[in-house]
Structure 1
Amino acid sequence: MEARPVEWLRARLPRLAAATTAAEQRSEAAVVAERTAALLRGGVPAARAIALISADAPPASEVGIVGGRVADGVPVPSALAAAAEPEWRVLAVAWRLAEVCGAPLAPALQRIAESLRELDRMRERRSVLLAGPRATVRMVAALPILALLLGLLLGFDPVPVLVGPAGAVIAAVGAGLLGVGVQWSRLLQRRAAREDAIAGLPSELLWVALGGGAPPAVAMRIVVDHVDAFGAEWVPFVGFCSGSPLLATVAAAESAGVPMRPLLLEQAVAERVAAAARLEREAERLGVRVLLPLGVCVLPSFIVLGVLPVVLSMFGAA
């Protein structure tokens, strides 16, 4: 069977690049991992695959910068680890583990790409879940201005009250309550939208290391060493400590005498399902918690800024 030329593969890479620009939240590292795995299966060497992929990327993008480092002679894992986003360091660890342990590189990259895709889905889901509370805060924060406009439409002029002696007190109290309420609500939202991470990465990286045939204890030590060396902050060291799901899975596989790698993948999937469930619960709780700053601060500011000047103008107080 005639081998496919590199030009045939490269001609199809812009399709993936166009798909990348269509999704704002799509991970560049996941795209690189997927495309590299496809090129490796087509017989393209790893360094050449990175060069082909980076040739279609803007020079200032992370992909272009990584390609430039590789072109300058930097090893691919080191070039990936020097990128700004944490997901690149996860990819660098997986790449280096495949090299050190002798595991097939293409399946390892494909697996990490699937994990990063899960992160994209989590980001999208979180954005949908938090859209309701965010819209509620914006709507309630606009109520004082709407109340003033409504008073003007009804024929009451609250402007003399606001510019008079009592206006400074009303404005200070109302603005203070509104500012506190909005900032309180935003703090609750930021806690719900905590820093991105991928659950189950320790299990998947150990799955990569075991692909070369290393004993589990040796493979785990290699994984920990490279996580530390590349500074992969999304891979918590507690995941390798006693009592972690990873060690429980390893112990269960060894005691039962069954293949360990499939169990590791199942454990990683289970951890991601649990993380998605936690995201759902936290979003639902946020919808209730956000009512506290709205009721304590924002609604009183609506009364002070929007209702009180109209009422005073009705009685002729200036």
Structure 2
Amino acid sequence: MRRTTAREAASPDAAEVAAVVQRLAVLLQAGIAPHAAWRHLADAGDPAAIAVCARRDAGGSAASALSERGDAWRQIGIAWQVATVVGAPLAMSLRGLAEALRDAHQARDDVRTALAEPQTTARLISWLPLVALGLGAALGFDPFAALATPVGAACLVAGGLLMLTTHRWTRALVARAQPGEEIPGLDAEVIAIALSGGVSIPRAIEVATAASGLGPSAGTEAVLALSRSAGAPAVELLRADAAARRQAARTEGRLRAATLSGRLLLPLGVCTLPAFLLLGVGPMLLSVLTTTPLTL
């Protein structure tokens, strides 16, 4: 089972955030004012809504309260701020972002599921050197006494260092294959929200950049250039591009997970097998040599 980090325990799942955002969008679409909609969710016990209501009662903004919660809520806060500045319809904007959150969450789940098997296999194999020690004792050898000799102590230190290297190397490979927490194509989604408020493309880019701190990516710039040259609606082009990026991220994540099994063979061959020889085979040979009398 994968260990849950403190950050994951403190922050809600992207799917949970998407569900709350979807409920908020339904309330807004029913004609309820934003502050009243947050208040209804707070009365239902939602932590994010409680934080937003507390911040607004203190004179702050919902966007800042959401951004302080980090991860998925920070991205919702960016979209909320953009929609508020340009006067974009909040309900429609939140529905689109909730769908983007679900897509990104599903992509991360797909990758983590694909990573689970090679990760578990690598973890089990990395403990084989220690299992070999117990196996040697079960077969009647005395590997622990052999490890007390100078040669055995050298084998123990070298094998332990190799096992530590295996764990760190494997952890680094798995971490590199893990998907990120950002929503692919978020810049396109945010600019699309700004454009749905009726502002010009330069103004939409300006507002989105001010809210997120990041400018549009090269792909988003290309979509906007296509919209200008073809006279096509930029909002639909941007949202289609964002959806395509999320699909591409899911495919790329699956490919990374598929190649991880092969990459995990590197620490197995370079570190685990030598550690097995040093901690498993070496002590048994030393035990035989130290207990068998020499004959002339």
Q: TM-score, normalised by structure 1?
A: 0.81
How many Å separate the matches in 2 of 1:276 and 1:89?
A: 22
Match of residue 237, structure 1, among 215, 234, 258: 215
Task: Tell me if 1:71 matches 2:57.
Answer: yes
Kept in 2: contact 1:81–1:88 (CA 8 A): yes
Q: 1:28: Cα distance to partner?
A: 4.3
- Could you tell me which residue of structure 2 aligns to residue 99 of structure 1? 84
State the shift of 1:302 in Å.
0.9
What is the match of residue 289 of structure 1?
A: 263
The alpha carbon displacement at 1:62 in A equals: 4.3
Which residue of 32, 55, 66 maps to 2:43?
55
Whole-Å Cα distance in 1 between the matches of residues 147 and 52 of structure 2? 58
Q: For the structure 1 residues 99 and 26, does the alpha-carbon distance in structure 2 shift closer, same or farther, using more than 3 Å as the test?
A: closer
1:175 corresponds to which residue? 160
- What residue number does 2:187 align with? 202
Change (3 A) 1:32 1:316: same
Q: Deviations over 1:40-91 (max 9, x none)?
A: 1222211111122123336xx44433332233332222222222x1322221
Match of 1:188 in 2: 173
Residue 215 (structure 1) shift: 1.7
TM-score, reference length from structure 2: 0.87
1:301 aligns with 2:275: yes
Kindly tell me the number of residue pairs found equivalent between the two proteins: 282
Q: SS of the residue aligned with 1:156?
A: coil
Q: Which of 52, 71, 85 is equivalent to 1:86?
A: 71
SS of the residue 1:69 aligns to: helix
- 5 Å-filtered alignment, 1:111-126, equals 111-126=96-111
Work out the CA distance in 2 between the residues paired with 1:317 and 1:119: 62
Are 2:138 and 1:138 equivalent residues in the alignment? no
Q: Distance in 2 between matches of 1:175 and 1:142?
A: 11
Partner in structure 1 of residue 30 of structure 2: 42
CA RMSD of superposed structures (Å): 2.2
Deviation at 1:100, TM superposition (A): 2.0
Where in structure 2 are there 5+ consecutive unaligned residues?
Answer: 1-11
Q: Deviations over 1:163-195 (max 9, x none)?
A: 333331121111011111211111111122254
Indicate which of 221, 244, 252 corresponds to 1:278. 252
- d(CA) in 2 for partners of 1:82, 1:26: 16
Q: Following the alignment from structure 1 to structure 2, what is the Cα–Cα distance between the partners of residues 194 and 279? A: 6
Aligned position for 2:241: 267
| Farther off after superposition, 252-261 or 292-301 | 252-261
Q: Is the 8 A contact 2:186 2:242 kept in 1?
A: yes
Kept in 1, the 8 Å contact 2:29–2:91? The answer is yes
Alpha carbons of 1:169 and 1:63: their partners in 2 closer, same or farther (altered >3 Å)?
Answer: farther
The aligned counterpart of 2:141 is 156
How far, CA to CA, are the matches of 2:289 and 2:13 in structure 1? 55
* Alpha-carbon distance in structure 1 between the residues aligned to 2:276 and 2:45: 50
Aligned partners of 2:108 and 2:45: how far apart in 1?
Answer: 24
Aligned twin of 1:129: 114
Conserved? CA contact 2:52–2:61, under 8 Å: no
In the alignment, does 2:199 pair up with 1:214?
yes
Contact 2:179-2:253 within 8 A present in 1 as well: no
For 2:77 and 2:272, the matched residues in 1 are separated by 47
Gaps of 5+ in 1: 1-23, 229-235
Matching residue of 1:18: none
Rounded to whole Å, the distance in 2 between the matches of 1:65 and 1:202 is 26
Cα pair 1:188 1:290 within 8 Å, conserved: yes
1:33 maps to which of 5, 15, 21: 21
